[in-house]
Amino acid sequence: MQSAAPISLNDKINQLTESIRDKKRVAIAFSGGVDSTLLLYAAYRTLGDNAMAITVDAPYIPRWELDEAADFCKKLKIRHTIIKLEIPATIQNNPSDRCYHCKLALFKQLQNFADQNGAALLDGTNYDDLDDYRPGMAALKELAIQSPLLEAELTKSEIRQISKEWNLKTAGKPAYACLLTRIPHATQITPEMLYRIEQAETAIIKLGFPAVRVRHYADLARIEIPTHQIPQAVAEPTRTKIVNAVRNAGYQFVTLDLAGYRMGSLNPAIEPAD
């Protein structure tokens, strides 16, 4: 039996467009990242004023990311609503299934907003997310949240390719995740530790390391950057600038992880197979 022919990128784009058009009015859960930016722009191209964006402002979302999301919408004159939320009580101790409880709480709020505005709520989950440790996807499924990028089988690399063709600045933006992913599981979350992480990462980004994670261990910061940038990071005067920036953020000890930046580096402690 012959295997089915692979779906072309143009076919996937057409499927994405038709899926959005069929909904007539949509609200995009918009973080400003690569995936949600492409989804929002596709919705804006397809539905115009019937596409709106909703962004969550929570203590574990960096200010710079909120600013980028707001700037994108302002430039295109897309209706943009920011919903301010506190850390849900269910994740105050940073449980291993934090993403499930977080998305369940947050998307209930976003769904209420979308319902009040007569819109279908859409999120930017992509096809590659099926292969990652993503407990939050169970919450999206439970709430019946629609993910058009996933439905069109668009991978991360394809999303970046389309973003480049559509002249979106996020085409080369590093993958990002909320600040809670920097903290070991079963750790009581405080605003002070989130502030320290954000300040340290923001300073390192400004020094030329856009893909960075500052893993938080009380007074110790474990910095992850791509391995090819490690020589740059340990060379003077950059090394001293990084040390000073991280100490100014409130850490006493500054370490650089020689294994380099990788998503979900805290997951193996919970899920050995990941």
Residue 269 or 50, more confident: 50
Q: Which residues contact 90 (CB under 8 A, 6 or more apart)?
A: 101, 102, 104, 105
Check residue 271 and give its pLDDT: 43
Q: What is the pLDDT of residues 48-101, one digit of tens each?
A: 999 999 999 999 999 999 999 999 999 999 999 999 999 999 999 999 999 999
Distance CA 16, CA 39 (A): 9
- Write the class of the CATH domain 9-172: alpha beta
Q: Which residues contact 130 (CB under 8 A, 6 or more apart)?
A: 137, 150
Distance CA 135, CA 99 (A): 6
Distance CA 236, CA 242 (A): 10
Q: What is the pLDDT of residues 106-126, one digit of tens each?
A: 999 999 999 999 999 999 999
Check residue 266 and give its pLDDT: 62
SS (H, E, C) the chain: CCCCCCCCHHHHHHHHHHHHHHHCCEEEECCCCHHHHHHHHHHHHHHHHHEEEEEEECCCCCHHHHHHHHHHHHHHCCEEEEEECCCCHHHCCCCCCHHHHHHHHHHHHHHHHHHHCCCEEECCCCHHHHHCCCCHHHHHHHCCCECHHHHCCCCHHHHHHHHHHCCCHHHHCCCCCCHHHHCCCCCCCCHHHHHHHHHHHHHHHHCCCCCCEEEEECCEEEEECCHHHHHHHHCCCHHHHHHHHHHHCCCCEEEECCCCCCCCCCHHHCCCCC
Check residue 133 and give its pLDDT: 66
Assigned CATH for 179-269 = 3.30.70.2210
Q: The pTM is what?
A: 0.91
> What are the domain boundaries of the chain?
9-172, 179-269
Check residue 38 and give its pLDDT: 98
226 backbone dihedrals φ, ψ, rounded to 5°: -55, 140
CB–CB of 122/39 below 8 Å? yes
Q: Whole-number mean pLDDT of the chain?
A: 93
